[in-house]
Every structure is written in C-alpha cells, then in structure tokens.
Amino acid sequence: MKKDTSWEEVAGWYGELVEETADTYHSQVILPHLLRLLPPKRGERWLDIGCGTGFFTRAMANSGALITGIDASREMIAQARTRGDKNADYRLASADKLTMFAAGTFDTVTIILALQNIEDLGGTVAEAARVLKPDGRLAVVLNHPAFRIPRASGWEWTDDKKIQSRRVDRYLSDAKIKIIAHPGENNSPYTISFHRPLQSYFKALHKSGLAVTRLEEWISHRRGPKGKTFLALETARKEIPLFLFFEARQI
C-alpha cells in the first residue's frame, strides 16, 4: 500500500461527521454490536488497524484494554491523538507493514470500516495474522459487499408492487472506486474504495492461516417516515443488511 492516503484531504470533514454527529451508523449500529460481541478485558492488548480519528479505538480503551490505533493518514492520527485516551496509543503506519510490532503481540486485532479502503488486502490480513497471539482473534466490519457496492447498488421503489428493493448491478468483479466527499462541489476531495466479493476476503483469511469463527449481518437503525410506504420500507430495512461482521482465528 502506498504511503500516501486518499483520506488525508477529507480527515477534517470525516472527523466532524463521526465524532460530532449523534445519529451515525458508527455510534448507533456498529459500536453497540462490537461491545456486545467483543467486550474488551482490562489489560488485554488490542490493535485497531485503520483507526481514523480513533472513535472505536477510544471506546475499546475505555473498557481498560491497552489499545494501539494505526492509520496511514497523518491528519487522522493527529485528530485521534487530540481526542486521546490514556489507554490508547496512536501511530502513523501502513496496514500491510506492521514492522514495529513483534509476532504474537495482540489479543485482538480490529479492522472496522477500513479493510474496504485498503488496496493490499492480502498483505493487510497477513500482517494482522502475524501480530495476533496464537489464541487471538481478528474482527472485521465492512460495508456489506453483497449489498453496498459503490456506484453499482442502490435502493429502488417499485410503485405497482409497493415494495422497496436493493438493486445490485455487479458483484463478483473487483473494483477500485472513487468516492466524492462532497458531490456537486467543484474540486471536491475524494476517497478510494475497493469492492471485493466475499470469496476474496475468505481466500485472504485462509491464505494467512485464519478461519471465520463468527459472522453477523447488521441492519440500519434508521426507520422510514410514517405513511403508506412505511411497512414496505421497514421490511426492506429489516431484510437487507448494510454491514457485515466476521471474527477469524488461527486454524
């Protein structure tokens, strides 16, 4: 993975969105599920790859775990350090080159909404596996790759059938996709997302000696407006997950 990052120019906007907005998927969906599935224990060593501004890193550190967050964006790391936590340490590092950590260092490695933004999938998973203790776990959260494909999926309302459905134009092909931060603005900064089918993630895990031990799919918390379409919108919300979680351990 290159040393520079497409997230550098959007770090300020992203920090405001995640850290200062109450009704986000981060705070209302992902964090509650993570704390339910992965309650940190005091004294455990955790690594948060692609930590961004440290939103999830701090939440885990608040439980007493000793957690290190790494990110390739200098500005993201600066924000994370400013917000700070005594149990959290932040370092500028590339996800596929964790040379500052010895093998078998961490009880848990998390990659939360970040693996889809990292080009070197195999190298990142291999490094995560290397720094895990033999009984450690890797926890990954993704925008669901089967239903949320940038520029190739979306919600659709069918008026004659009165149903809300999810359109998917393509799935099996890998894609490198530019995401405009502020659509409609001239010279808007952008980020890069990497769509991959599920088999790509599972192959990368297997190649690094890891196997999935738990998997969940999470829906949105945001309910549609009351009215004639409410039941159809609720059915779609409850049936089509937006996020995928999996835990993997050494085989």
Is residue 37 domain-resident? yes
Is residue 126 domain-resident? yes
| pLDDT tier at 4, thresholds 50, 70, 90 | very low
Is residue 93 domain-resident? yes
Is residue 157 domain-resident? no
| pLDDT tier at 5, thresholds 50, 70, 90 | low
**In DSSP terms, which residues pair with 164 in a beta bridge?**
157
Task: Find out whether 92 and 74 touch, Cβ atoms under 8 Å.
Answer: yes
Q: Identify the pLDDT of residue 2.
A: 42
Q: Identify the pLDDT of residue 64.
A: 87
Is residue 125 domain-resident? yes
Where are any strands of DSSP class E within 99-240?
A: 106-112, 132-143, 153-158, 163-168, 175-180, 190-195, 210-218
The parent domain of residue 97 ranges over: 11-144+191-223+242-250
Q: What are the tokens at 25? A: 């998927």
Alpha-carbon distance 232 to 228, whole Å? Answer: 8
Q: Identify the pLDDT of residue 85.
A: 78
| pLDDT tier at 118, thresholds 50, 70, 90 | very high
Tracing tokens 């459905």 back to the chain, one arrives at: 165
| pLDDT tier at 3, thresholds 50, 70, 90 | very low
Alpha-carbon distance 205 to 142, whole Å? Answer: 15
Is residue 229 domain-resident? no
Alpha-carbon distance 49 to 104, whole Å? Answer: 16
Q: Is the dihedral of CA 34, 64, 15, 5 positive or negative?
A: negative
Q: What are the tokens at 61? A: 């550190």
pLDDT tens-digit map of 32-59? 999 999 999 999 999 999 999 999 999 9
Task: Find out whether 70 and 98 touch, Cβ atoms under 8 Å.
Answer: yes
Task: Find out whether 8 and 28 touch, Cβ atoms under 8 Å.
Answer: no
Task: Find out whether 250 and 209 touch, Cβ atoms under 8 Å.
Answer: yes
Q: Identify the pLDDT of residue 222.
A: 95
Share above pLDDT 70 across residues of the chain, in percent, rounded to a whole number: 98
Closest CA to 140 of 119, 123, 120, 115: 115
Is residue 184 domain-resident? no
Q: Give the highest mean pLDDT range of 55-64, 181-190, 238-247.
A: 238-247
Q: What are phi and psi of 119, to 5 degrees?
A: -70, -40
Q: Average pLDDT, whole number, for the chain?
A: 94
User: 220 pLDDT exceeds 90?
Assistant: yes
Reduce the DSSP state of residue 180 to 3 states and report it. Answer: strand
Alpha-carbon distance 191 to 117, whole Å? Answer: 8
Alpha-carbon distance 193 to 150, whole Å? Answer: 8
Counting every residue written for the chain, the total comes to 251
Is residue 186 domain-resident? no
**In DSSP terms, which residues pair with 194 in a beta bridge?**
176
pLDDT tens-digit map of 139-159? 999 999 999 999 999 999 999
Q: What is the pTM assigned to this prediction?
A: 0.93
Mean pLDDT to the nearest integer, 183-207: 93
pLDDT tens-digit map of 80-115? 999 887 889 999 999 999 999 999 999 999 999 999
Q: Identify the pLDDT of residue 12.
A: 84
Looking at residue 198, which CATH number applies to its domain? 3.40.50.150
User: 23 pLDDT exceeds 60?
Assistant: yes
Q: What are phi and psi of 162, to 5 degrees?
A: 55, 50
The count of structural domains within the chain is 1
User: 226 pLDDT exceeds 50?
Assistant: yes
